[in-house]
Structure 1
Amino acid sequence: MSRSLNKVTLIGNLGSDPEVRATPGGNRVAQFSLATSRTWNDQSGTKQEKTEWHRCVVWNTKGSQLADIVERYVKKGDKIYVEGRIEYRQWQDKDGQTRYSTEINVRELILLGGRREGGDMDGGESYSAPRRQAAPAPQRAATGNARPAAAGAGAGGAAGNDDFEDFPGALEDEDDDLPF
Structure 2
Amino acid sequence: MQIITIAGNVGKDPVLRRTQGGDPILGFSVAVSNGRDTKPTWYDVSVFGKQAMSLDPLIGKGTSLTVNGRFSTREHDGKTYLQVSATEVKLQGSRNEGQQSSQKENQAQQSGQSYAQQSGGYGGMDDDLPF
Alignment of 1:78-157 (within 5 A): 78-89=63-74, 101-113=81-93
Check whether the contact 1:18–1:70 (CA below 8 A) recurs between aligned residues.
Answer: no
Provide the residue aligned with 1:33 in structure 2: 29
Q: One-letter code of the match for 1:19?
A: V
Q: One-letter code of the match for 2:89?
A: L
Correspondence for 2:17 among 5, 16, 21: 21
Label 1:98 to 1:21 Cα distance change in 2 as closer, same or farther (>3 A).
Answer: same
Identity %: 28
Provide the residue aligned with 2:46 in structure 1: 57
Q: One-letter code of the match for 2:60?
A: K
The CA distance in 2 between the partners of 1:69 and 1:101, in whole Å, is 26
Q: Higher RCO, 1 or 2 (CA under 8 Å, sep at least 6)?
A: 2
The CA distance in 2 between the partners of 1:77 and 1:101, in whole Å, is 21
TM-score by length of 1: 0.47
Shift of 1:51: 0.8
Is 1:7 matched up with 2:3? yes
RMSD: 2.9
- Bigger drift between 21-30 and 98-107 goes to 98-107
Q: Which is higher, the Rg of structure 1 or of structure 2? A: 1
Gaps of 5+ in 1: 41-47, 92-96, 119-180
- Structure having the higher helix fraction is 2
The CA distance in 2 between the partners of 1:21 and 1:15, in whole Å, is 18
Shift of 1:23: 1.1
Partner secondary structure for residue 49 of structure 1: coil
